[in-house]
A and B are shown apart, each in its own frame.
Chain A
Amino acid sequence: MEKFTTLDGLVMPLDRPNVDTDAIIPKQYLKSVKRSGFGPNAFDDWRYLDPGEPGEDHSKRRPNPDFVMNQPRYHGAQILLGRENFGCGSSREHAVWALEDAGFRVVIAPSFADIFFNNCFKNGVLPIVLDAGVMDRLFAEVEASVGYRLMVDLEAQTIATPDGEVIHFEVDEFRKYCLLNGLDDIGLTLQHADEIHAYEQRRRAEAPWLFNAITL
């Protein structure tokens, strides 16, 4: 998993509540055998005027000019502003894979659906919960100024706005530690590699038949 320490990123507002994971990545793309490559299909139904299928060249499709992601001023955005209950619906991890592949490393919303929230941390994406009032202000500011950026500092748990305001946010200590160090569950387990090796050595002596190799 990629580390997350600080991010100075362009902000894109997605001004609607209850954005569900089906909207983030529609079900036809779940047939994919990949974990990457979902980026062009993030928000597929909103983003394109014509329907899409996995495997086709999405750059040839007709973009919906009204959708925020297609407006040039938001190209290259890495921070997504959302509304209440962001990421609700099915548990598909593909939703986070799609956002990450589309370039987003931070999602800021007043509330998140639980599974989506957890899936973010597993994939190096930082979900931040802020008061609805603060969110309203951020939405107004980003819409008012082209090229609006935020500076997110995970260590300090702060978001700095262009005019110098500093907003504090909460994050679970353990999650923070994992993100700062780029540790996913696998990374964490591998910190105990010595213990795993020691276990294997002991078991191999005790019960060698469990280590019969599966080879043809």
Chain B
Amino acid sequence: MSGKTLYDKLWDAHLVREDDNGTGLIYIDRHLVHEVTSPQAFEGLRLTGRNPWRTDAVLAVPDHNVPTTQRDQGVAGITDPVARLQVETLDSNCESFGITEFHMNDLRQGIVHVIGPEQGATLPGMTVVCGDSHTSTHGAFGAMAFGIGTSEVEHVLATQCLIQKKSKNMQVRVEGELGEGVTAKDVVLAIIGEIGTAGGTGYAIEFAGSGIESLSIEGRMTVCNMAIEAGARCGMVAVDQKTIDYVTGRPFAPKGEMLERAIENWRDLHSDNDSVFDRVVTLKAADIQPQVTWGTSPEMVVPVNAAVPDPAQETDSVKQTGMQKALEYMALQPGMPVTDITIDKVFIGSCTNSRIEDLRQAAAVAKGRKVADNVALAMVVPGSGLVKQQAEEEGLDRIFIEAGFEWREPGCSMCLAMNADRLEPGERCASTSNRNFEGRQGAGGRTHLVSPAMAAAAAVAGHFIDARELV
């Protein structure tokens, strides 16, 4: 019999029971909750008179709707009444059900996928769920992590379990050494460009190979974050010494003897040598260049020094129409160099790229430069209050502010434009977020997904440019 993949191990360790038809009841170790997808779940509990199974497994935080400026008046100061109501509702639900919440003005508040790992609430070997598709981020710790819907949020609250079918196993290998100045974001965009946005459908993806191993934990989070954009519900990376070092000392992480025991267990969180994957895709690290998306799907991506592709060269007619539509929406000409695309706004933030390392990479480019005149707004939104504090200690805020960037309070912000941060119709944005769908950052807005360094480079140049030329 062949060995087990990392996903097999995680699945088996969490299987409470299995039906004859292969449907599993999976135990959930950590449940992260935010204000947008939880209200009806709490309401459901109330209506049915059910209590949460285990409140101590849950951590809540408002992030999607919170303003990124002027927070001094607290929740009462949120001007959008819908946003305010959702944040207030989260506060009162957590209070009445006894769930731990980092409130809006708590230093530890931030994007749910940034704070989980930051607090050690996410640990290797866990199952982690959240009513948000980018929960795949937490797979960077050798965890099984995926997004769920509102009914499932209620299900987990009430039972600490989820009814699931097991996915197939896929391994994406990035072999060799990444070029200087090529980041985790470029790696994952290149992967999606290669396998497509449906490439991972039905699979759990394990990212592996020396190119992935060489990434920091933060970089691995960026890669796993976008597993969902490749169609997979969860992405993961095996545990190594970096994982253990990252987790050690975090507030909710085990300590002392318990930590020793945990580490011993975590060392087994990798695919066995003789394990078999249903599909393996391999990329050469050396081939990966800084990436820029040109269309309205993350798979519509090219290296920065390439040209916008020409639909006429596409043989698949469905794809061809898709490309034409995307080019029309994005107002781009086939064949034009990506570096000729000028931009109106820059957004550095989101659960993909708002951690300290991301801000350092962006600051390294912005340092001593100025945001170009044609850029109306360049904003940096740290992933959490702690990331913000750390950045300020390192003087990154000064670098950004002096260059003409706005330095904001933590939250999802212009990643999905639920709060006041958004694009106006027709505006073009270099964004470090994860979705370039039509209207994602505001109705009629045009989004180009890039790494933090590339976003900063675009901000100072006023158009896309290879960030490696600036550092």
Mark A residues whose CB is within 8 Å of B. Answer: 1, 31-36, 93, 122, 185-186, 189-190, 192-193, 195-196, 199-200, 203, 207-216
Q: How far is the CB of A214 from chain B (nearest CB, A)?
A: 5
Whether the pair A214, B163 counts as a contact (CB closer than 8 A) is no
Q: Taking A186-B50, A200-B27, A212-B252 as contacts, is the C-beta distance between A192 and B16 under 8 angstroms?
A: yes
- Which residue from B43, B44, B163, B262 sits with its C-beta under 8 Å from A189? B163
Interface size for B (C-beta < 8 A) is 43
Whether the pair A190, B158 counts as a contact (CB closer than 8 A) is yes
Whether the pair B57, A214 counts as a contact (CB closer than 8 A) is yes
13 interchain pairs, CB-CB under 8 A: A35-B40, A35-B47, A186-B48, A186-B154, A192-B25, A196-B25, A196-B161, A199-B27, A200-B160, A203-B27, A208-B258, A214-B56, A215-B100
- B43 contacts which chain A residues (CB < 8 A)? 33-36
Asked if B150 CB lies within 8 Å of chain A CBs, one says: yes
Asked if B290 CB lies within 8 Å of chain A CBs, one says: no
- B85 contacts which chain A residues (CB < 8 A)? 33
A140 to B53, CA, bound (A): 50
Asked if B121 CB lies within 8 Å of chain A CBs, one says: yes
A190 to B25, CA, bound (A): 11
- B125 contacts which chain A residues (CB < 8 A)? 207, 210
Q: How far is the CB of B18 from chain A (nearest CB, A)?
A: 11
A35 to B53, CA, bound (A): 21
- B44 contacts which chain A residues (CB < 8 A)? 35
Whether the pair B262, A93 counts as a contact (CB closer than 8 A) is no
- Which residue from B40, B47, B159 sits with its C-beta under 8 Å from A196? B159
A194 to B264, CA, bound (A): 30
A215 to B101, CA, bound (A): 9
Asked if B123 CB lies within 8 Å of chain A CBs, one says: yes
- B100 contacts which chain A residues (CB < 8 A)? 214-216
A200 to B159, CA, bound (A): 12
Which residues from 258 to 276 on chain B have a C-beta closer than 8 Å to any C-beta of chain A? 258-259, 261-262, 265
Q: How far is the CB of B58 from chain A (nearest CB, A)?
A: 6
- B181 contacts which chain A residues (CB < 8 A)? none
Asked if B17 CB lies within 8 Å of chain A CBs, one says: yes
Whether the pair B39, A189 counts as a contact (CB closer than 8 A) is no
Whether the pair A186, B158 counts as a contact (CB closer than 8 A) is yes
- B25 contacts which chain A residues (CB < 8 A)? 189, 192, 195-196
Q: Taking A192-B16, A207-B262 as contacts, is the C-beta distance between A93 and B151 under 8 angstroms?
A: yes
- B254 contacts which chain A residues (CB < 8 A)? 209, 212
Which chain A residue shows the least CB distance to B152?
A: A185
Whether the pair B121, A214 counts as a contact (CB closer than 8 A) is yes
Asked if B409 CB lies within 8 Å of chain A CBs, one says: no
Which chain A residue shows the least CB distance to B90?
A: A33
Nearest 9 Cβ contacts at the A-B interface = A33-B39, A213-B56, A209-B254, A35-B40, A189-B159, A209-B262, A35-B43, A33-B89, A199-B16
Whether the pair A1, B27 counts as a contact (CB closer than 8 A) is no
Q: How far is the CB of A182 from chain B (nearest CB, A)?
A: 10
- A36 contacts which chain B residues (CB < 8 A)? 43, 47
Whether the pair B59, A185 counts as a contact (CB closer than 8 A) is no
Name which of A1, A32, A35, A214 has the most chain B CB atoms within 10 A of its CB: A214
Given contacts A33-B39, A210-B125, 7 further A-B contacts (CB under 8 A): A33-B89, A93-B151, A190-B159, A200-B160, A207-B262, A207-B265, A212-B252
- A210 contacts which chain B residues (CB < 8 A)? 29, 123, 125-126
Which chain A residue shows the least CB distance to B60?
A: A214
Name which of B17, B126, B259 has the most chain A CB atoms within 10 A of its CB: B17
Asked if B441 CB lies within 8 Å of chain A CBs, one says: no
Q: Taking A35-B47, A208-B258 as contacts, is the C-beta distance between A189 and B29 under 8 angstroms?
A: no
Q: How far is the CB of B55 from chain A (nearest CB, A)?
A: 8
Name which of A1, A33, A211 has the most chain B CB atoms within 10 A of its CB: A33
A193 to B158, CA, bound (A): 11
- A93 contacts which chain B residues (CB < 8 A)? 150-151
Whether the pair A185, B121 counts as a contact (CB closer than 8 A) is no
Q: How far is the CB of B250 from chain A (nearest CB, A)?
A: 11
- B446 contacts which chain A residues (CB < 8 A)? none
Which chain B residue shows the least CB distance to A198?
A: B16
Whether the pair B155, A186 counts as a contact (CB closer than 8 A) is yes
Interface string of B5-20 (1 = CB under 8 A from A): 0000000000011000
- A193 contacts which chain B residues (CB < 8 A)? 159
- B195 contacts which chain A residues (CB < 8 A)? none
- A216 contacts which chain B residues (CB < 8 A)? 100
Whether the pair B16, A196 counts as a contact (CB closer than 8 A) is yes
